[in-house]
Amino acid sequence: MTSLVQAIIDGLMVGGVYAVISIGLTLVFGVLGIVNFAQAEFLMLGMYIAYFAWAALGLDPLAGAFLAFGIVFALGYGLQRTIIQRVLKAPAVSQVFLTVGLLIVMENGALLAFGSQIRSVTTAYQTKSLQIGPFFVSLPYLAAFLMSIASGVSLWWVLNRSWLGMAIRATAIDPMAGRLIGINIDRVMAIAFGLGVGLTAFGGAVVLPYLSVFPTAGSQFVVLMFTVAVLGGLGSVAGAVVGGLAVGVITSVSALMFPIQLQNLVLFLVFIAILALRPDGLMGRA
Amino acid sequence: MTMRQTFLLICFATLIPLALEPNGYYIRILTLALLFAALGQAWNIVGGLAGQMSLGHAAFFGLGAYTSTLLLIHFGISPWIGMLAGGVLGGIAAFLLSLPTMRLKGHYFALGTLAFAEVFRVIANTWSSLTGGPVGLSVPFSEPSLAMLQFNETRSYYYLMLAAFVAVSMIFVIIVQGRLGYRLRAVKEGPDAAEVIGVNTTRVKIHAAVISGSLTAMLGTLYAQLNFFFDPDTVFGALQISIRIALIVIVGGIGTLFGPLLGALLIIPLEEFANVMLADRAAGLSQLTYGALLMAIVLLQPQGLAEFAKKLAARISGKVMSSKTEART
Amino acid sequence: MNTPLLSVEGLSKRFGGLQALSDVTFAVNTGEIVGLIGPNGAGKSTLFSTLVGLHRPSAGKVALNGRDVTGLRPHVIAANGLTKTFQNVSLFAGSSVLDNVLIGGLVHSRVASARGFAMDCLKRVGISDIAQRSAGSLSFPERARVEVARALCTRPKVLLLDEVMAALNTAEMDEVIGLIRDLRKDGLTVVIVEHHMRAIMSVCDRIFVLNFGQLIADGPPAHIARHPEVVEAYLGREHDV
Ligand SMILES: Nc1ncnc2c1ncn2[C@@H]1O[C@H](COP(=O)(O)OP(=O)(O)OP(=O)(O)O)[C@@H](O)[C@H]1O
Ligand SMILES: [Mg+2]
């Protein structure tokens, strides 16, 4: 029983991070209608930025996360204007090929640029944890969780309380109508893509205190992100938060019962089942 | 293309190996290209005719490779029989896949099929007692013979793959011209209208999926026999198999008879040469080039090479026409 | 009493908050030509789609020749002899006209004989000259006729025609009216949705009027033309059509 509760606590902690990295994926889909297979590579990029900010400037990864967000946001903005924009109306497979191509380029670009070694940071709080009764909450996990939730809330605020957010939501619902009421939808889409990949990079940076970075670090998150996004309904930000927490708990509880390799299998089965039964997500319109 | 031209093309393909070293590098690339052309043609049945862009064909491919190889290793059963067994399992897997993905469209279909193949990859990696796990399987070599589908020379494999490609293409043509082909096109172009005029769209899609999955599994056996070694990540890999097959057909011209061949003859050698030229330079460079090429293909020619060739031909014949009219005036 | 060929009882259809059809009841006998009229958005096309099984009714029952076909898949209903054309025209754009029609024939026969029958259907509708053209390249009136030929090729007992005369000129309209009369001579039963009152009045034995998803009147053309509710709901507004 104690171990189950502990697993749920652990699950919620990582789930918060899953939520924020998947919000990026779901935002990109919601606004641009594109499934970005390269999304997890921006997480890897965020980890590298935070790592080098720590190594060169001594910046804590939790602060480096803001740097990662900024840089990746700009990169995403540029990428959307130059490349992604051109396939917005292309068939789904073309979009898949393009973003898979981007995935390969980024992963191998990182290999060429940074080499294959595994890098990690050292922080003062890395090994600390809080004790609440019989339960433990590891400090770096808690920090990542809180940072993620804070960024999720900020995004929610931007989407619902600002003019930009209104423009983004209008574009997501109907780009043509958006254009008619005077929204520069090309710009809005680029901002949305930048925000999406930026958030995922942010999520990558905040996990650096407890995870290492290497060129293929993103790949371990691909399945997770997609399951979270589909669970919550592709395109739904609130859904991604609930989905992220749910997937965090599912993986952490299933680790109690199954060998670690089968964790992904459980996720895949959840994923396929949801696609088949509720293609719009558990809380979706279906 | 007419019957005559097709016949000449096959004759030409039969003669090519005579000009190449029987165990050389070039014939190996061509052999691989033919295998992937056949895979593309099998994929074309669902992707091209039914318009269902499956990204999960690695599931069937790997299933075929593992089935025949395990039967050979444990029971000494000829890969021919193993291939049939794999074909049956591939068909069953395709049936099972089509149940949950039947009603999905666009991205959701792509994601669902992709995930399905990943399930197989995870299982193959995990269930080591059966599959050998991540280490992979080696096909035991007995002695070169057609009965055991094993040869000394790549040239023999070339003919094997050529025959496979021709066979799958013939099945494709039979489907295209028959009831199923008409119904598949109807399903692709207007599922509601198809239903209202009596097409059982569900059954039609399942038929196509089962045929395609079964053929893909059988080609998996041929791959195992050609390569003698494989692991879960190569035969069940999304990038290595599923996406590559779809890419080949789309680049070559989706839904067309010669699209898969055209696409395979372009993509496979390109990958190989990129590999050979760049692999020793720096780790990741050849892969990076491949990724960049993938992006470039989508950005430059989303409609496929065949469309590009058609346009080119139209332009040339347009010029010829206009020069003729000019000559007349 | 004979069982009617098509009988509809208490049929309702909701789309979210919108009651597109409410409690529609009527029957059509073999060999009748029945008109269905009503203002835009009255639910005529929805009724057709529900009858052929594209929509699952929220309530009610559809029977064909006494057999309950409610909730069956459209292809089963088509095989039982009920099909329709699409108002927004939904041809298989990448295929030729002949192939479009041929697919309808596959319900009953193999490709070769379906092709022959498809040619016959094209001739009946008067468009055998465009058999080899691509369906995507046709004009709207041509496409509407291909729709009719394709539906005929399924050898229906009841044919539902949804505004096939839209965008036709008077001469063309007369041709289609002639065709519908011929079809009836061959034993076919036809239900027509049409906004052209002249066409409806001249060809139909009976007319149903739908308004806001409800049947508000039915009877012979002369009776409908004088029906006060109908005049108010429908004719009053589009009198000049
Ligand atoms: N699939 C659908 N989902 C939601 N609402 C629908 C759907 N199809 C039709 N409707 C709505 O149902 C109502 C009836 O539409 P329908 O197309 O049946 O009208 P109609 O009588 O055929 O009109 P018209 O004369 O313009 O063809 C309309 O308000 C329409 O917006
Ligand atoms: Mg209508």
C10-24: b (≥16 Cβ within 10 Å) or e: ebbbeeeeebbbbeb
Domain co-membership, C99 together with C73: no
Instruction: Name the minimum distance, in Å, from the CA of A274 to any CA of chain B.
Output: 9
Pairing of strands C158-162, C82-84: parallel
The verdict on residue C127 lying in a domain is yes
The total number of residues written for chain B in this structure: 329
Same domain, C41 and C107: no
Q: In Å, how far is A85's CA from the nearest CA of chain B?
A: 10
Q: Which two tokens stand for residue B4?
A: 């005559």
Comparing alpha-carbon positions, the chain A residue that sits nearest to B113 is A272
Burial group, residue A38, by CB count within 10 angstroms (0-12, 13-18, 19+): buried
Same domain? C29 vs C120 = no
Nearest Cα residue to B36 out of B275, B202, B247: B247
Region of C187 (left: φ > 0; alpha: ψ -120 to 50; beta: rest) is left
Ligand in nearest proximity to the CA of C196: 1
Say what the pLDDT of residue B301 is. Answer: 67
- Does the CB of C95 have a partner CB in chain B at under 8 Å? yes
Dist. CA C35 → ligand 2 center (Å) = 13
Instruction: Give the model confidence (pLDDT) of C172-198 as tens digits.
Output: 888 889 999 999 998 899 999 998 888
pLDDT at residue B294, as a whole number: 84
Last residue of a domain, one of C121, C155, C189: C155
Q: Which atom of ligand 1 is nearest to the CA of C55?
A: 1
Amino acid, res. B270: L
**Which of B103, B216, B133, B56 has the alpha carbon at shortest distance from A268?**
B56
Contact present, C60 and C19 (Cβ < 8 Å)? no
Q: Residue A193 falls within a domain, yes or no?
A: yes
Residue C86 lies in a domain: no
Among B58-72, C67-81, C191-205, name the one with the lowest average pLDDT.
Answer: C191-205
Q: Is the pLDDT confidence value at B61 over 80?
A: yes
User: Is A112 in Cβ contact with B285 (below 8 Å)?
Assistant: yes
Binned at pLDDT 50, 70 and 90, residue B306 comes out as: low
- The range of the structural domain enclosing residue C163 comes to 1-81+159-241
Comparing alpha-carbon positions, the chain B residue that sits nearest to C154 is: B197
State whether C2 and C68 are in the same domain: yes
In a domain, A158, yes or no: yes
Report, as an integer, the average pLDDT of B267-278: 83
How far off is chain C from B218, nearest CA to CA, in Å? 29
- C15 Cβ inside 6 Å of ligand 1: yes
Which band of pLDDT confidence, cut at 50, 70 and 90, is reported for residue C82?
Answer: very high
Tell me, using a 6 A CB cutoff, whether residue C44 lines ligand 1.
yes
- Mutation to test the B interface, candidates C96, C106, C113, C147, most B Cβ within 10 Å: C106
Residue B308 confidence (pLDDT): 61
For ligand 1, is residue C41 a contact (CB within 6 Å)? yes
**Is the beta carbon of C42 within 6 A of some atom in ligand 1?**
yes
Question: What is the rounded CA–CA span in Å between residue A167 and residue B220?
Answer: 50
Backbone angles phi, psi at A131, to 5 degrees: -115, 125
Cα C156-C159-C161 angle, rounded to 5 deg = 145
**SS3 (DSSP) at B138:** strand
pLDDT digits (tens, 9 = 90+) for B75-112: 999 999 999 999 999 999 999 999 888 888 878 888 88
Task: Tell me which of B103, B177, B188, B197 to substitute to probe the interface with C (most C C-beta atoms closer than 10 Å).
Answer: B197
pLDDT of amino acid B317: 53
Chain B CB contacts of C90 under 8 Å are: 190, 192-193
Q: What is the CA radius of gyration of chain C?
A: 17
What 3 state SS string does chain C have? CCCCCEEEEEEEEEECCEEEEEEEEEEECCCCEEEEECCCCCCHHHHHHHHCCCCCCCEEEEEECCEECCCCCHHHHHHCCEEECCCCCCCCCCCEHHHHHHHHHCCCCCHHHHHHHHHHHHHHHCCHHHCCCEHHHCCHHHHHHHHHHHHHCCCCCEEEEECCCCCCCHHHHHHHHHHHHHHHHCCCEEEEECCCHHHHHHHCCEEEEEECCEEEEEECHHHHHHCHHHHHHHHCCCCCC
Q: Tell me which of C207 and B106 has the higher pLDDT.
A: C207
Number of structural domains found in chain C: 2
List, for chain A, all residue ranges whose pLDDT scores fall below the cut of 70. 279-286
Q: How far does the CA of residue B109 sit from the closest CA of chain C (Å)?
A: 22
The minimum CA-CA distance between B98 and chain A, rounded to whole Å, is: 10
To test the pocket of ligand 1, the residue of C21, C36, C46 to mutate (highest count of ligand atoms within 8 Å of its CB) is C46
Distance C55 CA to ligand 1 centre (A): 12
Instruction: Judge if the beta carbon of residue C196 lies within 6 A of ligand 1.
Output: no
Q: Please compute the mean of the pLDDT values over residues B242-247 and round it to a whole number.
A: 92
CA of C143 from ligand 1 middle (Å) equals 21
Of the candidates B112, B284, B293, which has its C-beta nearest A272's C-beta?
Answer: B112
Amino acid (one-letter) located at A101: G
Q: What is the DSSP letter of B242?
A: I
In sequence order, the β-bridge partners of residue C67 are C64
Question: Is the CA virtual torsion C91, C92, C97, C98 positive or negative?
Answer: negative
Shortest-distance Cα residue to atom 24 of ligand 1: C40
pLDDT exceeds cutoff 50 at C239: no
Domain housing A23: 9-121+128-216
**Chains touching A (3+ CB pairs < 8 Å):** B
| Confidence at residue B329, expressed as pLDDT on a 0 to 100 scale | 38
Shortest CB distance from C111 goes to which of B182, B188, B202? B182
From the CB of residue B184, how many other CB atoms can be counted at a distance below 10 Å?
A: 28
- Whether residue A276 lies inside any domain: the answer is no
What is the Cβ-side half-sphere exposure of residue B212, based on CA atoms within 13 angstroms?
37
Calpha distance C241→C231 (Å, rounded):
13
> C187 and C68 in one domain?
yes
Gap between the Cα atoms of B186 and B193, Å rounded: 8
Confirm whether A237 is domain-assigned: no
Nearest-CA residue of chain A relative to B99?
A276
C-alpha dist (Å) from residue C101 to B258, C145, C233: 27, 10, 37
Least confident of A230-239, B159-168, B209-218, C18-27: A230-239
- Regarding whether C45 and C20 lie in a shared domain, the answer is yes
First CA to last CA distance, chain B? 33
Please tell me the distance from the alpha carbon of residue B184 to that of residue B195, in angstroms, as a whole number.
12
| Contact (CB, 8 A) for A42 and A207 | no
Alpha helices for chain B (secondary structure H): 3-15, 25-44, 58-75, 79-101, 106-126, 128-131, 154-177, 179-189, 191-196, 201-227, 232-235, 244-252, 259-278, 285-300, 305-328
Chain A and chain B share a number of CB contacts under 8 A equal to 135
Question: Mind listing the pLDDT tens digit for each residue in C147-178?
Answer: 999 999 999 999 999 998 887 888 888 888 99
Which whole-number Å values give the CA distances from C133 to C136, C138, C142, in the listed order?
A: 8, 8, 11
**β-strands C6-15, C18-28 pairing:** antiparallel
Q: Helices (DSSP H) in A83-211: which residue ranges?
A: 92-114, 139-161, 163-173, 175-180, 185-206
How many Å apart are CA C175 and CA C199, to the nearest integer?
Answer: 11
The DSSP bridge partners found for residue C12 are: C59
Q: For chain A, what is the domain count? A: 1
Chains C and A are in contact, defined as 3 or more C-beta pairs closer than 8 angstroms = no
Is the CB of residue B174 less than 8 Å away from at least one CB of chain C? no
With CA atoms as reference, report the closest residue to B234 among B140, B132, B146, B152. Answer: B132
Yes or no: say if A237 and A159 are a contact pair by the CB < 8 Å rule.
yes
Decide whether any atom of ligand 1 lies within 6 Å of the C50 Cβ: no
Which residues hold their Cβ within 5 A of ligand 2, which is an ion? C 44-45, 87
Q: Is A164 in the B-facing interface, judged by CB distances under 8 Å? A: no
Asked if C123 and C164 sit in the same domain, the reply is: no
* Chain C: partners with 3+ C-beta pairs within 8 Å: B
C100 band by pLDDT with thresholds 50, 70 and 90:
very high
**Residue B203 structure tokens:** 């059954």
Name the percent of chain B lying above pLDDT 70. Answer: 90
Residue window 62-121, chain A: list those with CB within 8 Å of chain B: 83, 86-87, 90-98, 100-109, 111-112, 116
The residues facing B148 across adjacent strands are none
Q: Are A87 and A95 spatial neighbours (Cβ–Cβ below 8 Å)?
A: yes
- Residue A283 phi, psi dihedral angles, 5° rounding: -100, 10
Q: Tokens 């254009």 map to which residue? A: A179
Q: Do A105 and B292 touch (CB under 8 A)?
A: yes
Of C124, C155, C186, the residue that ends a domain is C155
Cβ distance C52 to C83 under 8 Å? yes
Give the mutation candidate from A34, A117, A272 for the B interface (greatest B CB count, under 10 A). Answer: A272
* Confidence check: pLDDT of B13 > 90: no
Task: Tell me the pLDDT of chain B averaged across its residues.
Answer: 87
| Beta carbon of C87 within 6 Å of any ligand 1 atom | yes
pLDDT recorded at residue B293: 84
Q: State the average pLDDT over residues C111-122.
A: 92
C78 touches chain B (CB under 8 A): yes
Our answer on whether the CB atom of C241 is closer than 6 Å to any ligand 1 atom is: no
CA–centroid distance, C154 to ligand 2, in Å, is 22
pLDDT value for B33: 96
State in Å: Cα B198 to ligand 2 middle: 22
Answer whether B189 sits within 8 Å of C94, measured CB to CB.
Answer: yes
Closest CA relative to residue B49, chosen from B201, B187, B202, B174: B187
Same domain, C170 and C238: yes
Beta bridge partners of C8: C26, C62
List the single range of A166-175, B32-41, B164-173, C57-66 with lowest mean pLDDT: A166-175
Is pLDDT at B281 greater than 80 in this prediction? no
The model's pTM is: 0.87
Q: What angle do CA C189, C191, C197 make, to 5 degrees?
A: 130
Q: Which CATH number is C64's domain given?
A: 3.40.50.300
The answer as to whether C138 is a domain residue is yes
Q: Ligand 1 pocket, C22 CB below 6 A?
A: no
Task: Determine contact: C103 vs chain B, CB below 8 A.
Answer: yes
C195 C-alpha to ligand 2 centroid (Å): 10
**Spatial CA neighbour of A110 closest among A123, A122, A119, A97:** A119
Mutation site for A-interface testing, chosen from B278, B288, B289, B300 by largest number of A Cβ within 10 Å: B288
B295 by DSSP, 3-state: which?
helix
CB C90 within 8 A of CB C54: no
User: What is the number of the ligand 1 atom nearest to the C-alpha of C46?
Assistant: 18
8 A C-beta contact, residue B198 and residue C127: no
